[in-house]
C-alpha cells in the first residue's frame, strides 16, 4: 500500500510540476502516469527482491531432510522466523502479507501446530490453493465441516489442475460419510481435468463402491497429515516418514 501511495505522489508531483512550467494539466498527464508506473515497478521490485532472499533462505533450510521429529520442528521454527521478517513489507506491497501468511501456515500445519496454522491461514489469500486445501484439512480434523467445504472450494477454484486437492477434498467428505458429495467433487474434477488418469481412477473406485486409495497422490498427500505414510520395511532403504518441505505456489 505504501508503494502505491508513494508512486501516486510521484506521478501527481510530476504532473503538477509540468503545469507550473506553464503547460496545461493535460500535458502533464502522460509524464505523470509514466512516473507513477516507473516508481511503482521500481519499488515493487525492491520488495520482491527482499522477499525472494527470504524464500531462498527457507529453501536452503529444507535442502536436507530432517532425521527425526525434533530436527524437523527446529527447521520449521527457523523457517517461520525467517518468513516473519518479510511481514514488515505487508503495508508496503499488496499481496505480500497474505502469501507469507499462507507459507507460514503450511509450515506450521505440517508439524501439527494446528492453532498456529489456523491463525495464519485466516490471514492468507485465496491465490495459494495448497494453503487453502490444508486449511480445509485442518477444519476437517476439527469437525468444522462447513468451513472445511468452503476452504476446499476456494482451493479447487484456484488450483483446479492440482489433482491431489480434489482427491483430498473427496477423501474428507468420505470420512464424513458423505459419499454423494464426494462423487460430485470427483465428477467435477474429471470434467475439469479430462486427461487426468488419477482422478478418473478415483472416481471409478467410488462409483464401484470401493475404498478411495490415495497412493497415486503420494508424496504430496502425506503433507495433509490425514494418513500416516508407510514405515520403511526391514532391511530396506529410506523412504519412510513424512518429509517436511517448503511449498511454493505456482
Q: How far is CA 138 from CA 63, 109, 193, 245, in A?
A: 26, 8, 26, 18
For 204, the domain range is 144-226
Number of structural domains found in the chain: 1
Q: What is the pLDDT of residue 119?
A: 95
Q: Is residue 111 part of a domain?
A: no
Q: Is residue 157 part of a domain?
A: yes
Q: What is the pLDDT of residue 3?
A: 66
Q: CA 81: distance to chain centroid?
A: 18
For residue 247, which phi and psi values (nearest 5 degrees)?
Answer: -105, 125
Q: Is residue 48 part of a domain?
A: no
For residue 16, which phi and psi values (nearest 5 degrees)?
Answer: -70, -35
* Least confident window among 38-47, 86-95, 229-238, 239-248: 239-248
d(CA 222, CA 34): 49
pLDDT confidence tier of residue 249, bands split at 50, 70 and 90: very low
Cell of 214: 490415495
d(CA 26, CA 15): 8
Q: What is the pLDDT of residue 1?
A: 67
Residue in the structure block whose three cell numbers are 464426494: 182
The tens digit of pLDDT for each residue in 206-221 reads 999 999 999 999 999 9
The answer to whether 222 touches 245, Cβ cutoff 8 Å, is: no
Q: How far is CA 47 from CA 3, 54, 106, 236, 249, in A?
A: 9, 11, 22, 47, 18
Amino acid at each position: 500500500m505504501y508503494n502505491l501511495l508513494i508512486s501516486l505522489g510521484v506521478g501527481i508531483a510530476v504532473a503538477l510540476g509540468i503545469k507550473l512550467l506553464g503547460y496545461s494539466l493535460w500535458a502533464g498527464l502522460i509524464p505523470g502516469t509514466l512516473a507513477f508506473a516507473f516508481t511503482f515497478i521500481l519499488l515493487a521490485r525492491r520488495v520482491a527482491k527482499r522477499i525472494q532472499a527470504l524464500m531462498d533462505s527457507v529453501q536452503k533450510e529444507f535442502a536436507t531432510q530432517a532425521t527425526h521429529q525434533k530436527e524437523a520442528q527446529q527447521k520449521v521454527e527457523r523457517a517461520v522466523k525467517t518468513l516473519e521478517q518479510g511481514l514488515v513489507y505487508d503495508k508496503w506491497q499488496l499481496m505480500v502479507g497474505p502469501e507469507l501468511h499462507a507459507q507460514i501456515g503450511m509450515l506450521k500445519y505440517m508439524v501439527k501446530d494446528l492453532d498456529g496454522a489456523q491463525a495464519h491461514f485466516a490471514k492468507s489469500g485465496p491465490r495459494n490453493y495448497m494453503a487453502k486445501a490444508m486449511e480445509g484439512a485442518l477444519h476437517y480434523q476439527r469437525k468444522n465441516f462447513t468451513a472445511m467445504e468452503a476452504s476446499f472450494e476456494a482451493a479447487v477454484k484456484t488450483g483446479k489442475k492440482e489433482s491431489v486437492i480434489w482427491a483430498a477434498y473427496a477423501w474428507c467428505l468420505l470420512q464424513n460419510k458423505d459419499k454423494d458429495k464426494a462423487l460430485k467433487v470427483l465428477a467435477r474434477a474429471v470434467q475439469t481435468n479430462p486427461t487426468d488418469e488419477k482422478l478418473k481412477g478415483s472416481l471409478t473406485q467410488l462409483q464401484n463402491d470401493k475404498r478411495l486409495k490415495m497412493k497415486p497422490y503420494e508424496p504430496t498427500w502425506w503433507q495433509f497429515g490425514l494418513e500416516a505414510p508407510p514405515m520403511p520395511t526391514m532391511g530396506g532403504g529410506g523412504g519412510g516418514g513424512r518429509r517436511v518441505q517448503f511449498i511454493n505456489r505456482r
